[in-house]
Amino acid sequence: MKRYTLSLAALALLSGSILLAGGEKAKTFKGEIMDSQCAMNNSHEKMEKMANMGHDPKMCTLKCVEMGGKFVLQDTEKNVTYMLDDQEKPRELAGQKVTVTGTYDKKTKTIHVERIEGAS
Ligand SMILES: [Cu+2]
């Protein structure tokens, strides 16, 4: 019994220090799921003209990722690009306006994604 209590205390201590080490609190980021290539232009326009594909942000995003790009969150109003450490969830929301919840790592400009929701 004594050992059990001890390990519980150790666990609590451990998780406490993990929380402290994590530091940053989860925040929400608004923007559009875009591909890293088009994010450099802050728009799909250039790529769409080049590939002659009409205006279809979803298709452009998926195509560009297929060609080796990465899904990113693009704040088109501020022209800021956030990398996303989750490359699965963004797929179904490609080209859409979304709200991403997660912690931001300034060094790598990457959001550690907890949640992605389509903006209504
Ligand atoms: Cu594109």
Percent of the chain residues past pLDDT 90, beyond the cut: 72
Give 93's DSSP letter: G
Q: Which residues surround ligand 1, an ion (CB under 5 A)?
A: 35, 38, 44, 47, 60, 64
Instruction: Kindly indicate the confidence band of residue 16, based on its pLDDT and cuts at 50, 70 and 90.
Output: low
CB 116 within 8 A of CB 93: yes
Residue 17: CB atoms within 10 A of its CB come to 10
Cα 37 from Cα 93, distance rounded (Å): 17
CB 27 within 8 A of CB 102: yes
Percent of the chain residues past pLDDT 70, beyond the cut: 81
Residue 47 CA to ligand 1 centre (angstroms): 6
Residue 120 CA to ligand 1 centre (angstroms): 23
| pLDDT over threshold 80, residue 2 | no
Return the pLDDT at 4.
67
pLDDT, tens only, 58-97: 999 999 999 999 999 999 999 999 999 999 999 999 999 9
Instruction: Kindly indicate the confidence band of residue 24, based on its pLDDT and cuts at 50, 70 and 90.
Output: confident
Residue 12 CA to ligand 1 centre (angstroms): 46
